Structure 1
Amino acid sequence: MLIYQGGKEIDEDDFRSHVYSLCQLDNVGVLLGAGASVGCGGKTMKEVWQSFKQDHPDLLSLLIERYLLVSQSDSDNDLVNVELLIDEATKFLSVAKTRGSAAEEQEFRTILSALYKGVTRAALLTGDEFREKNQGKKIQFKYHKELISKLISNRQPGQSAPALFTTNYDLALEWAAEDLGIQLFNGFSGLHTRQFYPQNFDLAFRNVNAKGEARFGHYHAYLYKLHGSLTWYQDDSLTVNEVSASQAYDNYIQSIINEQDYYRGQHLIYPGANKYSHTIGFVYGEMFRRFGEFLSKPQTALFINGFGFGDYHINRIILGALLNPSFHVVIYYPELHNALLNVENNVASEGEKAIVTLKNLTFNQVTVVGGGGDAYFDSFVKHLPYPVLFPRDNTVDDLVDAITKLSKGEGNVPF
């Protein structure tokens, strides 16, 4: 396990003590990237690109040789940012429409359909079972539930609820919170029609029956999906809505992953890949504004896991936040050793250059954890402490199962 703080290596005991202290700060949040969902069925953008290359060699040839949107070197080394490629392909499609080139327009529709399909499949997590209810009960979301439980249980009276930032489209956090009975404020509200209202991020739940400090206990967390979600879509009236997983699957996702349905992909919310960019820009802009605002608050800790630092915008916000003297960031980066070697040999990707820059900073505000499996999502969650009085085992789930069995008349259930 490689751990660096302020550019210097520290031991594991000091690191665990540091993490415990950070969990007591007034504002605690996490930033999760694609790597945080790999353990529950997701794929990284690198794996999405590898699948695209294997499944669509003809389209790969068009991107490299005819339209020069991808370099041969980046393709061979799997350095292509699929999200940015979707953005560029969308621009080329617009130019093809303007020029009246039907052949080019069809080629880019086919390219975009294939890219949408790859990104969407990677985010389903549970495959064809995506539309089913109670997904959070599945064992693959164990660590997402533990993460939310630990973050909320460490909050003290008067402190803010935890903030969950993610670049993922998947529903791992939503499903985990739902199974725990935790309410997530994600900017959308409404019973039958859920629409985006930024003021929802300024709301909170409290127990009206509690007295004194107890009334400030937390029953919720804030969720900011920086790159959109599989269940967000925009209708023809330019309104951004959130729908259930089953409705999203039946109305949009199924067509995208089973057919070359470019039109359906234009309704789902992918960064840079929506024709109604002025409306979607408002949603994304608000998410990023809240991210920067959170990092600027006093006494703030941010834990980063599964994020490859390939998003320049996010990198700049994090670097800028270090001007806040009471901001601390802990970054889990499994391939840290390889990144150091690649930077030394001048063959590093932009993401690797960013993480090495952060690792070399002499600020004690920055802690970087490497070491392969020691920096994976499950290891990160295990490093977060439970409060002293919090039960270590999942007694809530055990109690729910016992009550369910009793209600079915399955006999005596030991407690």
Structure 2
Amino acid sequence: MSKFIFQGSSPISEKDFKSHLGSLCQLENIGVLLGAGASAGCGGMTMKGVWLDAISSSTSIVNDLLYFNLITQENITNQDVNVEQLLDQVTQYLSVYKKMAPLNDDSALEFRPVTRLQKILLCLYQSVTKAALLVERESFGNENLGSQEQFKYHRELLEKLISNRQPGQAAPMLFTTNYDLSLEWAAEEIGIQLVNGFSGLHTRTFQPQNFDLSFRNVNAKGEARFGHYHAYLHKLHGSLSWVQEHDSDIKEIPSALAKSRYIDPLLNGEPVYDKQFLIYPGANKYHHTIGFVYGEMFRRFSEFLSKPQTAIFVNGYGFGDYHINRIILGALLNPSLHIVIFYPDLDTISTDTAKLNEAQKCIKKLKSLSLNQITIVGGDYKAYFNSFVKYIPKPVLFPRDTSTQDLVAAINDLVQSGNQI
């Protein structure tokens, strides 16, 4: 038996696990939930990485945080800083100090509490944004970014999910807490349509009914007409390409425009985060998700998990978001739901509950439930995003050495050579 794969609370062999995955891929509904770890291998950062980037970018942020008692020296020593909670606390402090600030404050502007808190926020927001770029800042917004080697496994994930669907089955559902554009870039490269709730040619606005639409080939006959050319993408916490100014509708814009209008100014030090061009991580983000767009995203997530014959693969998500954990735990009441969790640090979770953080407690609880509908994969690198994608089987009729990208390249070569197909 494997020492890093558990179904319920019992270890299973890697062979049995692969067989189990093959069966799950044939269920009526299949989806994935991706977190920061799923983008770490292609240029992203985990929350720990965001913190380390922030303190390396600003020489004063640590002293300012200590001044306001927002962190302790022990946090700094152990690099145990929850950036989500930190952003929430700084935002709350800033709101209070703005109301308390006297009009005749004679202290230098740079030493005023409001100014110092604003600098902390700006520094943290800059690090969060840099973590979501994935590519060099100068190339963000360029065309064909999805063809880069770093997005190889994102392309492969989409190809496998699409090709495993049988006639009449639902298209794959993608859920992510990430702001980055890895899935969008990968889908564009291999010619897969992503339905993300936004529609419009010149002005793309959010329309929830878009999630009830699908693509099909009108020239196909019989069962072939129900083949899939698309997947559904739900960005639970927003995106670098979503903007909202002055309480207007949330719009989706091209990445190049997002870079010039919002990302570059922010990284250059302008406080454009006031325009809420994305929902930054924070313990208060559940409050933000009550809004129209985010509420709809979470409703769709909960609705998906309640459907019969459903499988969801969780990768790169650290179980640090209480509202998502609550939806997952509640969904276990669905007897035909199967959850496969890839959690690299599974082996390091302490048996002493008092020493566990909230995320680790959630994982330990899921494992202790001893439900066969829950499978957890640990083993450090064996649970990374690339390993997860490799575990997903290709269908029997899908050529093992041929991908959608290879077929597109072959057709282009024929066209360029002047041969007729």
Query: With structure 1 as the length reference, what TM-score do the two structures score?
Result: 0.92
Residues 387-398 of structure 1 aligned to structure 2 (within 5 Å): 387-398=395-406
Aligned to 1:251: 261
Per-residue CA distance 1:151-187 (angstroms, 9 max, x = gap): 1111111211110011111000000111111111111
From the superposition, tell whether residues 173 and 67 of structure 1 become closer, same or farther in structure 2 (CA, over 3 Å).
Answer: same
Aligned to 2:13: 11
Aligned partners of 1:3 and 1:367 also within 8 Å: yes
From the superposition, tell whether residues 315 and 147 of structure 1 become closer, same or farther in structure 2 (CA, over 3 Å).
Answer: same
Shift of 1:95: 2.1
Aligned to 1:111: 120
Counterpart of 1:335 in 2: which secondary structure?
A: helix
Aligned-residue identity in percent: 57
Say which is worse superposed, 235-244 or 311-320, in terms of deviation: 235-244
From the superposition, tell whether residues 221 and 393 of structure 1 become closer, same or farther in structure 2 (CA, over 3 Å).
Answer: same
Shift of 1:87: 2.7
State the AA in 2 paired with 1:383. Y
Following the alignment from structure 1 to structure 2, what is the Cα–Cα distance between the partners of residues 31 and 141? 17
State the AA in 1 paired with 2:208. P
Aligned partners of 2:57 and 2:123 also within 8 Å: no
Per-residue CA distance 1:285-329 (angstroms, 9 max, x = gap): 111111111111111111000111111111111111111100110
State the AA in 2 paired with 1:365. Q
Following the alignment from structure 1 to structure 2, what is the Cα–Cα distance between the partners of residues 143 and 68? 42
Which of 169, 189, 197 is the matching residue for 1:187?
Answer: 197
Q: Which runs of 4+ in 1 moved over 4 A?
A: 272-275, 277-280, 402-409
Per-residue CA distance 1:355-411 (angstroms, 9 max, x = gap): 1221222110110001011111111001101111112224543343355456666x9
From the superposition, tell whether residues 265 and 42 of structure 1 become closer, same or farther in structure 2 (CA, over 3 Å).
Answer: farther
Residues 40-59 of structure 1 aligned to structure 2 (within 5 Å): 40-59=42-61
Aligned to 1:365: 373
Per-residue CA distance 1:207-249 (angstroms, 9 max, x = gap): 1112222211111111111111111110225221111110000
Counterpart of 1:136 in 2: which secondary structure?
A: helix
Following the alignment from structure 1 to structure 2, what is the Cα–Cα distance between the partners of residues 76 and 199? 49
Following the alignment from structure 2 to structure 1, what is the Cα–Cα distance between the partners of residues 359 and 73? 19
Counterpart of 1:130 in 2: which secondary structure?
A: coil
Which of 304, 315, 324 is the matching residue for 1:294?
Answer: 304
Following the alignment from structure 2 to structure 1, what is the Cα–Cα distance between the partners of residues 409 and 226? 29
Aligned to 1:37: 39
Give the number of equivalent residue pairs: 407
State the AA in 2 paired with 1:3. I
Aligned to 2:355: 347
Residues 277-288 of structure 1 aligned to structure 2 (within 5 Å): 281-288=291-298
Counterpart of 1:40 in 2: which secondary structure?
A: coil
Residues 109-188 of structure 1 aligned to structure 2 (within 5 Å): 109-128=118-137, 129-188=139-198
Following the alignment from structure 1 to structure 2, what is the Cα–Cα distance between the partners of residues 320 and 83? 23
Aligned to 2:78: 77
Aligned partners of 1:373 and 1:379 also within 8 Å: yes
Following the alignment from structure 1 to structure 2, what is the Cα–Cα distance between the partners of residues 368 and 11? 12
State the AA in 2 paired with 1:80. V
Aligned to 1:93: 94
Aligned partners of 1:343 and 1:353 also within 8 Å: no
Per-residue CA distance 1:316-351 (angstroms, 9 max, x = gap): 111111111001100001111112xx3437422221
Aligned to 2:341: 331
Say which is worse superposed, 110-119 or 66-75, in terms of deviation: 66-75
Gaps of 5+ in 1: none
Which of 214, 233, 243 is the matching residue for 1:233?
Answer: 243
Q: CA RMSD in A?
A: 2.3
Shift of 1:267: 3.1
Counterpart of 1:218 in 2: which secondary structure?
A: coil
Aligned to 2:317: 307
From the superposition, tell whether residues 349 and 227 of structure 1 become closer, same or farther in structure 2 (CA, over 3 Å).
Answer: same
Aligned partners of 1:87 and 1:271 also within 8 Å: no
State the AA in 1 paired with 2:63. S
Say which is worse superposed, 98-107 or 45-54, in terms of deviation: 98-107
Following the alignment from structure 2 to structure 1, what is the Cα–Cα distance between the partners of residues 76 and 177? 22
Following the alignment from structure 1 to structure 2, what is the Cα–Cα distance between the partners of residues 27 and 116? 36
Say which is worse superposed, 186-195 or 278-287, in terms of deviation: 278-287
Say which is worse superposed, 343-352 or 210-219, in terms of deviation: 343-352
Following the alignment from structure 2 to structure 1, what is the Cα–Cα distance between the partners of residues 62 and 209? 43
Gaps of 5+ in 2: 103-108
State the AA in 2 paired with 1:227. H
Which of 190, 211, 219 is the matching residue for 2:221?
Answer: 211
